[in-house]
Structures are given as C-alpha cells and as structure tokens.
C-alpha cells in the first residue's frame, strides 16, 4: 500500500463516471460546484450507484448535471481524481471512467452539482485562463477522435 497521508474515511478508490459528449464540433463541460475541483471545468459525472452499469451512470449524471439527454456509446479511458485537504492529505480518491456519449436532445443548464454547463471548442481548452480539472483537455481530444471529429 502506498505511503500517503490520508484523512479519508474511504480506504479504497471510489468509482465514478464522466460523460464526454461531442456535438457539432464542441465538447460539453460543467463548472463543478463541489470537491474535488470545485470551481474548475470538467465533464458531467458522478458516483456510480450499486448495481448501476457504468454507461447508465454516465447518462444519468449527464442529465442531472446539464439537462442534456445522451446515449452511451463506449467506455474509452479512466483517470484519477484526488481530493486533498489544505495540508495535502488525501480525503478521497476517485477513479473517473470516461464514457463517450452521443447527444440526443437538450440545452445545457447547470443542475445538481454544477455551477455552469456549456459547450466548448477543443481550441478553447488550451486557453490559459480557463480553469480545467486535470486531464480534461486530453480526455476531450480522445473523445473528439473517437467521435470522428
């Protein structure tokens, strides 16, 4: 086991899903309201409920956080998200499982755990002033490639 200072009540990583929706040459992101990465832009997503398939969790979280209806196409990558306290101790470790989703319907509206929801061009993600969660630009490029953009 790694030697990591932790305050976590969770001894193991928490599985969660993120929905990568590519539509009309843009990717859908939300500005997170809660840790980890509160205030940063990332993909809509959240914890997978017991007995819930990954793809269904992605579509559910997408709708809850953005009002966008989607259809899961495929799981394509996973990334780590570490929630640390002010002293750098680990509170929670999430494993975010990315699901490429097709856009079905809707207009992005922040809901649930999001402060904002909107579409971005891939080039927008290179803007130094845009506060992104770790790996968002990379995952967005992977989603665009898989979507045939």
Q: For 44-70, how does the pLDDT look when each residue is reduced to its tens digit (9 = 90+)?
A: 999 999 999 999 999 999 999 999 999
Please report the pLDDT score of residue 1 as a whole number: 45
Average pLDDT value over all residues in the chain: 91
The answer, yes or no, to whether residue 78 has pLDDT greater than 80, is yes
Please report the pLDDT score of residue 94 as a whole number: 93
Please report the pLDDT score of residue 93 as a whole number: 93
Distance CA 43, CA 17 (A): 9
Instruction: Name the fold adopted by 14-143.
Output: Nucleoside Triphosphate Pyrophosphohydrolase (3.90.79)
Beta strands per DSSP E along the chain: 14-23, 26-32, 41-42, 45-47, 69-84, 90-105, 114-120
**Nearest Cα to 47, choosing from 108, 90, 56, 140?**
56
Distance CA 38, CA 31 (A): 8
Q: Which residues are catalytic?
A: 116
Mean pLDDT of 104-122: 94
Instruction: State the pTM of this model.
Output: 0.91
Where residue 112 falls among pLDDT bands split at 50, 70, 90? confident
Where residue 11 falls among pLDDT bands split at 50, 70, 90? confident
Where residue 41 falls among pLDDT bands split at 50, 70, 90? very high
């Amino acid at each position: 086991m790694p030697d990591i200072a932790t305050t976590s009540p969770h001894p193991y990583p928490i599985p969660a899903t993120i929905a990568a929706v590519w539509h009309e040459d843009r990717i859908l992101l939300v500005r997170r309201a809660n840790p980890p990465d509160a205030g940063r832009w990332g993909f809509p997503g959240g914890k997978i409920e017991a007995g819930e398939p990954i793809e269904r969790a992605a579509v559910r979280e997408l709708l809850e956080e953005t009002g966008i209806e989607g259809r899961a196409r495929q799981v394509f990558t996973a990334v780590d998200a570490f929630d640390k306290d002010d002293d750098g101790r680990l509170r929670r470790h999430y494993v975010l499982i990315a699901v490429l989703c097709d856009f079905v319907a809707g207009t992005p509206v922040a809901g649930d755990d999001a402060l904002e929801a909107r579409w971005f061009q891939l080039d927008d993600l290179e803007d130094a002033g845009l506060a992104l969660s770790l790996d968002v630009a990379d995952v967005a490029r992977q989603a665009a490639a898989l979507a045939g953009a």
